Structure 1
């Protein structure tokens, strides 16, 4: 077999063939993994909804609605109903003030805005420190838990900033970010739900 002459034209053609094959392979891989990834995200979302609101017998995903926070985030609201009565709303909320960037959580609020529970969806915080937020703010110890608190009545910022919540040890920035995501959820819900008690103040500290 004759050796291909090493010319600029041949090198360019070879490079185009290689990039074409690589691009086609990546495209095929994306198509193969797109649906499983979407299904996994949906399953995680559904599990989070069940975790943060009381028992319900409607399909919150079918009644989901969106609203913009004043920060420009698009939040998703999943109304949970029992026998057609609203028992809570699961809110997919976020902040970009985390140590590693975005922090996304699902937080459940009662119709009056009180916090039912929460679940962390995504974050890039320091492993072993910021990752403790998964359980820290629902642990009934000292002033860690935010469960049952109402942002209209409770100052849900870290105690270091004059608030009522103990920050995660050695992870104050992550704690501020988590509580900021809760604040964003409450304030946006407050603006879109007249049943929420008014009078909550934004006392978060960046």
Structure 2
């Protein structure tokens, strides 16, 4: 084939077309496994902060310009708890995302750290079982804590939540996410929208969240 601008253009176009098709095929192959992995991780997180349930319904709220998702869990049609996905942008290494479980009465069941990029051996300890942060709130109703401006706070800021050693910024981010989860829980459980919260979506069924329970 004689090398001409037209021929070279056609060859390049063909290569680009084949490469694009290849990327599309790979994306189609990996899309389902990724979705399944995300679903499994979500179900595990729900099971870690809730008692046994057979169905969840979700509400999305916008608090401080961030999406907070509240999963209302039920068993045989009766509400047994709420699992709230909340985020804080105040982490030392980046956003901190939590799944916080509440009983219908507002007691904290458990907290799972979904995502964090904090300093290894310091801020990362927020994900350790029995760390000072979770021990300060687990099994308690947050309104009975020592609040600062109506919110939880670490001891250094006047509250009574014990911070991680040498990781005050990470601890504040953790507490910030808990506060946002708490606000969303109160909104959904009581039906009263806080003044600084805007509803962002309708309530939808999540049949994929099957029966589970708190992981001890």
TM-score, normalised to structure 2, is 0.74
Measured after TM superposition, the shift of residue 37 of structure 1 is 0.8
Measured after TM superposition, the shift of residue 179 of structure 1 is 1.3
Q: Where do residues 56-135 of structure 1 align in structure 2 (5 Å cutoff)?
A: 56=53, 58-60=54-56, 64-135=57-128
Measured after TM superposition, the shift of residue 150 of structure 1 is 2.4
Match of 1:163 among 159, 164, 184: 159
The 1:131/1:14 distance shift into structure 2, 3 A limit, reads farther
Match of 1:25 among 18, 22, 44: 22
CA contact (8 A) 2:111 2:134 kept: no
**In 2: Cα distance, 1:185 partner to 1:192 partner:** 11
Measured after TM superposition, the shift of residue 10 of structure 1 is 6.1
The 1:192/1:79 distance shift into structure 2, 3 A limit, reads closer
What is the aligned length? 188
**In 2: Cα distance, 1:87 partner to 1:170 partner:** 37
TM-score, normalised to structure 1, is 0.77
Higher relative contact order (CA 8 A, sep 6+): 2
Partner of 1:192: 188
Match of 1:179 among 156, 175, 180: 175
Unaligned ranges ≥5, structure 2: 195-216
